[in-house]
């Protein structure tokens, strides 16, 4: 068989199946599908063929099965199935680029998010998948492969963290990374399955593409609520895009993800329009068929340029009205930090010196460290000043609330600096019921007179880092993880009043849960404080990914965020997500930084993940309705107009 013959046969087969779904008001019978001439007649007819009318029970899905059985993909198409797998791998690679890889991400790399999913979507909806055997399984596996590769690349730091700081062997560390990717990659697989299911049930590629962003937003919500790992959701790639991230105060990060997937679906649609021939006598509504591929490509390029122009959009620059000192102790998370004997006195003296950083002239980075941001200089006024807050981060320091030395240090420092304190420490309460002490990962709040204002206990703990989930089931976890702490989960989000203003505090991993962080602002917090220890991540992408997620929290709630870390990135973030001041990583230092207060409430702060839940409802509803035979027939009939 010549190549031209194979191409003709392939084209005829595609036309045959597309015609079955696009140009009849009812399903075709088996005899009709076996006869190309008969099918051509059906395409130009305003009703289904007589045989189909005699058997009205033959559904659209049945017609597709018959068509697939009567027409087999040519050997050339069967031999090119590797292209779909290559497309899935290409999407995974492209999706790595708009997120930090080993340092701060240049803003221009966010452009890749607008088309990174196009190869995957095209592969999932290609005739080689939709017409071939087991289309749903193949669509799921294609997207699942993409998800596995993306998570393994995006979260490669899991291996380093478990190996260097978890005390695990290399093989176990690698298996944990693989297991993590296999589990979370399922969300990608469900995305591909859902899109393919809509395509199969309705016979409409257009509906499948329209459905895609709703399904993606729904699955990101599931990642937050079901597996509790909403790490690097797609919308975070646009944290530097001042135009696009204006959606965040209304929809949260989910609205940005929705827009990105919608754009990918739009660009992918250009690959499918010409697969549906324009039948004589019918309107030539299809954009690519009317304008041609070059115009379509120019339209897509123009849209990307327009949306990416937000990178150069300068947000408002609110004035700072208060000063905080953010201490960065740079303690080694793997060292013995018991501070026995005189070592305690030495570290406390260092803490006191850093807490007084506002009493000396100092330079800072006017932006993100290691990004080429310029230096700024703090010049003191000619009179003594006292910071409005001093913060000590989550760290391996042996700060335990019941320790008398720790309590005395807090009272002395607060009175000496005349400043309130927020200090990361190990909280402890005695439980009479359990007859034992409960440990908490906490932030202790002390007034400027040394009095105890309150304590916030971390609510969202890190699995296998701060607790072992399902201990009865995975009883071997303690042996595998060795150094895992056993913290008790906090049960209340609190706002603390200091010097007439309300502060909300969240700790480390809690920063990735948008719906939880916004509750502090909902409770009246005028500024947010995030204390964290990113020393576990080393020089990987994780500290920079974590920073960008905190920046999105500032945008969603329009709040200043004081981010104090053990070894970086310590920074002040304004209500528009811009890093105003920071200090270098991996050094003992302190950042005297300006910040402000806001009491207005955004829609997202007040209503949370409403948009994401709406997408989830519409996604589930769309899947359910698409399976109804009556709806399939209506869509099938409208395809003619």
pLDDT per residue over 606-619, tens digit each?
999 999 999 999 99
Identify which of 582, 527, 579, 525 has the alpha carbon closest to the alpha carbon of residue 317: 579
Q: Give the per-residue pLDDT at 469.
A: 64
CB 378 within 8 A of CB 361: yes
- For residue range 430-456, list pLDDT tens digits in order: 878 877 888 899 999 999 999 999 999
DSSP annotation of 467: B
Burial of residue 434 (number of CB atoms within 10 Å: 0-12, 13-18, 19+): exposed
DSSP annotation of 48: -
DSSP annotation of 273: G
> Positive or negative, the Cα torsion across 470, 475, 480, 481?
positive
Percent of the chain residues topping a pLDDT of 70: 76
Residue 113 has pLDDT above 50, yes or no: yes
Q: Give the per-residue pLDDT at 37.
A: 34
Q: Give the pair of three-digit tokens for residue 465.
A: 């880092």
Mean pLDDT of 194-214: 92
Q: Find the helix packing angle between 404-417 and 342-355, rounded to 10°.
A: 30
Calpha distance 15→34 (Å, rounded): 13
Given the DSSP bridges, would you call strands 322-328 and 501-507 parallel, antiparallel or unpaired?
A: unpaired
Q: Give the per-residue pLDDT at 162.
A: 85
> Cα angle vertex 263, ends 285, 22, to 5°?
35
Mean pLDDT of 333-349: 88
Q: Which residues of 508-596 form beta strands (DSSP E)?
A: 527-532, 561-565, 571-573, 579-582, 589-595
Confidence of residue 579 (pLDDT cuts 50, 70, 90): very high
Confidence of residue 26 (pLDDT cuts 50, 70, 90): very low
Q: Which of 129-133, 317-321, 572-576, 629-633 has the lowest mean pLDDT?
A: 629-633
Percent of the chain residues topping a pLDDT of 90: 56
DSSP annotation of 131: T
Calpha distance 318→311 (Å, rounded): 19
Burial track 354-378 (b if 16+ CB lie within 10 A, e otherwise) = bbbbbbeebebbebbbeeebeeeeb
Residue 542 has pLDDT above 90, yes or no: yes
Q: Give the pair of three-digit tokens for residue 513.
A: 């849960």
Mean pLDDT of 391-400: 92
What value does the mean pLDDT of the chain take?
81
Q: Give the per-residue pLDDT at 482.
A: 46
Mean pLDDT of 33-54: 37
Q: Give the per-residue pLDDT at 480.
A: 47
Confidence of residue 399 (pLDDT cuts 50, 70, 90): very high
Q: Give the per-residue pLDDT at 481.
A: 44
Residue 286 has pLDDT above 90, yes or no: no
Calpha distance 377→594 (Å, rounded): 12
Give 561's strand partners.
528, 573
Highest mean predicted confidence (pLDDT) among 19-28, 367-376, 465-474: 367-376
Q: Give the per-residue pLDDT at 45.
A: 35
Calpha distance 340→442 (Å, rounded): 22
The residue with greater pLDDT, 106 or 35, is 106
**CB-facing half-sphere around the CA of 583: CA atoms within 13 A:** 26
Residue 299 has pLDDT above 80, yes or no: no
User: Hey, where are the domains in the chain?
Assistant: 3-70, 81-275+287-314+611-638, 322-425+491-607
Calpha distance 70→36 (Å, rounded): 11
- With H, G, I as helix, E, B as strand and everything else as coil, classify residue 24: coil
Residue 353 neighbours by CB under 8 Å, 6+ apart: none
Residue 508 has pLDDT above 70, yes or no: yes
The residue with greater pLDDT, 123 or 287, is 123
Confidence of residue 168 (pLDDT cuts 50, 70, 90): confident
Specify the DSSP element, H or E, that contains 40.
helix 36-44
Identify which of 145, 126, 151, 135 has the alpha carbon closest to the alpha carbon of residue 193: 135
Q: Give the per-residue pLDDT at 314.
A: 84
Q: Give the per-residue pLDDT at 276.
A: 46
- For residue range 57-107, list pLDDT tens digits in order: 344 444 444 344 444 455 555 556 788 999 999 999 999 999 999 889 999
The residue with greater pLDDT, 385 or 511, is 511
Q: Give the per-residue pLDDT at 58.
A: 40
Q: Give the per-residue pLDDT at 604.
A: 97
Q: Which of 128-132, 315-319, 473-477, 582-586 has the lowest mean pLDDT?
A: 473-477
Q: Give the per-residue pLDDT at 219.
A: 97
Calpha distance 339→397 (Å, rounded): 8
The residue with greater pLDDT, 68 or 518, is 518
DSSP annotation of 419: -
- With H, G, I as helix, E, B as strand and everything else as coil, classify residue 375: strand
Which CATH number among 3.30.930.10, 3.60.110.10, 3.30.70.3190, 3.10.450.50 corresponds to the domain 322-425+491-607?
3.60.110.10
Burial track 503-522 (b if 16+ CB lie within 10 A, e otherwise) = bbbbbbbbbbbbbbbbbbbb
Calpha distance 237→33 (Å, rounded): 47
Q: Give the per-residue pLDDT at 334.
A: 83
Residue 38 has pLDDT above 80, yes or no: no
Calpha distance 267→209 (Å, rounded): 10
Confidence of residue 376 (pLDDT cuts 50, 70, 90): confident
Q: Give the per-residue pLDDT at 304.
A: 80
Q: Find the helix packing angle between 170-202 and 60-70, rounded to 10°.
A: 110
Q: Give the pair of three-digit tokens for residue 89.
A: 């791998």
Calpha distance 20→32 (Å, rounded): 10
Calpha distance 115→304 (Å, rounded): 9
Calpha distance 536→168 (Å, rounded): 14
Residue 330 has pLDDT above 70, yes or no: yes
Calpha distance 130→50 (Å, rounded): 27
Residue 280 has pLDDT above 90, yes or no: no
- For residue range 216-225, list pLDDT tens digits in order: 999 999 999 9
Calpha distance 49→42 (Å, rounded): 6
Given the DSSP bridges, would you call strands 501-507 and 527-532 parallel, antiparallel or unpaired?
A: parallel
Highest mean predicted confidence (pLDDT) among 79-93, 232-246, 471-485: 232-246
Calpha distance 306→294 (Å, rounded): 18
Confidence of residue 281 (pLDDT cuts 50, 70, 90): low
Confidence of residue 272 (pLDDT cuts 50, 70, 90): low
Backbone phi and psi for residue 502, each to the nearest 5 degrees, phi listed first: -105, 130
Q: Give the per-residue pLDDT at 3.
A: 39
Question: Measuring CA to CA, how many Å separate 329 from each of 113, 185, 352, 536?
Answer: 36, 37, 11, 14
Q: Give the per-residue pLDDT at 357.
A: 77
Residue 254 has pLDDT above 90, yes or no: yes
Backbone phi and psi for residue 203, each to the nearest 5 degrees, phi listed first: 70, 15
- With H, G, I as helix, E, B as strand and everything else as coil, classify residue 425: strand
């Amino acid at each position: 068989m010549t190549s031209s013959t194979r191409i003709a046969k392939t084209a005829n087969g595609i036309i045959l199946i597309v015609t079955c779904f696009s140009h009849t008001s009812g399903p075709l019978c088996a005899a009709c599908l076996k006869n190309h001439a008969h099918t051509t007649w059906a395409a130009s007819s305003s009703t289904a063929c007589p045989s189909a009318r005699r058997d009205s029970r033959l559904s659209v899905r049945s017609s597709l099965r018959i068509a697939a059985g009567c027409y087999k993909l040519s050997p050339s198409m069967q031999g090119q199935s590797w292209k779909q797998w290559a497309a899935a791998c290409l999407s995974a690679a492209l999706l790595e680029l708009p997120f930090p890889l080993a340092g701060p991400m240049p803003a221009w790399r966010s452009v890749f998010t607008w088309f990174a999913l196009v190869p995957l979507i095209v592969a999932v909806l290609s005739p080689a998948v939709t017409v071939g055997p087991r289309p749903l399984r193949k669509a799921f596996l294609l997207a699942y492969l993409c998800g596995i590769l993306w998570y393994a690349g995006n979260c490669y730091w899991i291996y380093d963290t478990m190996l260097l700081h978890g005390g695990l062997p290399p093989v176990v560390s690698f298996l944990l990374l693989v297991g993590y990717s296999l589990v979370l990659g399922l969300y990608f697989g469900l995305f591909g399955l859902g899109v393919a299911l809509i395509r199969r049930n309705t016979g409409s590629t257009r509906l499948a593409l329209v459905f895609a962003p709703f399904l993606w937003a729904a699955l990101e919500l599931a990642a937050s609520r079901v597996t509790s790992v909403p790490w690097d959701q797609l919308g975070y790639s646009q944290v530097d895009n001042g135009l696009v991230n204006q959606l965040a105060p209304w929809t949260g990060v989910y609205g940005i993800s929705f827009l990105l997937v919608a754009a990918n679906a739009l660009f992918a649609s250009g690959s499918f329009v010409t697969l549906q021939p324009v039948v004589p006598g019918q309107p030539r509504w299809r954009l690519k068929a009317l304008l041609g591929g070059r115009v379509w490509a120019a339209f897509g390029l123009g849209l990307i340029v327009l949306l990416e122009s937000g990178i150069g959009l300068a947000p408002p620059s609110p004035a700072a009205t208060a000063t905080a000192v953010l201490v960065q102790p740079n303690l080694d998370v793997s060292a013995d930090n018991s501070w026995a004997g005189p070592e305690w006195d030495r570290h406390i003296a260092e803490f006191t010196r850093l807490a007084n950083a506002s009493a000396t002239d100092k330079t800072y980075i006017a932006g993100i460290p290691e990004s080429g941001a310029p230096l700024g200089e703090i010049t003191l006024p000619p009179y003594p000043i006292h910071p409005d807050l001093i913060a000590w981060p989550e760290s391996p320091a042996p700060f335990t609330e019941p320790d008398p030395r720790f309590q005395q240090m807090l009272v002395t420092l607060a009175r000496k600096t005349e400043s309130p304190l927020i200090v990361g420490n190990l909280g402890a309460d005695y439980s009479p019921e359990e007859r034992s002490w409960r440990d908490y990962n906490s932030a202790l709040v002390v007034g400027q007179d040394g009095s105890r204002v309150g304590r916030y206990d971390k609510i969202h703990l890190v699995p296998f880092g701060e607790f072992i989930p399902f201990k009865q089931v995975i009883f071997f976890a303690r042996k595998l993880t060795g150094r895992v702490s056993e913290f008790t989960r906090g049960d209340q989000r609190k706002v603390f009043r200091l010097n007439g203003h309300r502060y909300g505090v969240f700790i480390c991993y809690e920063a990735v849960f948008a719906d939880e962080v916004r509750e502090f602002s909902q409770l009246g917090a005028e500024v947010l404080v995030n204390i964290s220890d990113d020393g576990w991540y080393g020089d990987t992408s994780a500290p920079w990914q974590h920073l960008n997620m905190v920046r999105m929290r500032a945008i969603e709630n329009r709040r200043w965020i004081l981010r104090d870390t053990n070894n970086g990135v310590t920074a002040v973030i304004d209500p528009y997500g811009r890093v105003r001041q920071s200090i270098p990583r991996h050094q003992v230092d302190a950042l005297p930084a300006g910040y402000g207060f806001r009491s207005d409430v955004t829609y997202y702060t007040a209503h949370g993940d409403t948009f994401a839940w709406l997408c989830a409802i519409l996604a589930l509803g769309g899947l359910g309705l698409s399976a109804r035979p009556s709806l399939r027939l209506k869509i099938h009939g409208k395809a003619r107009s």
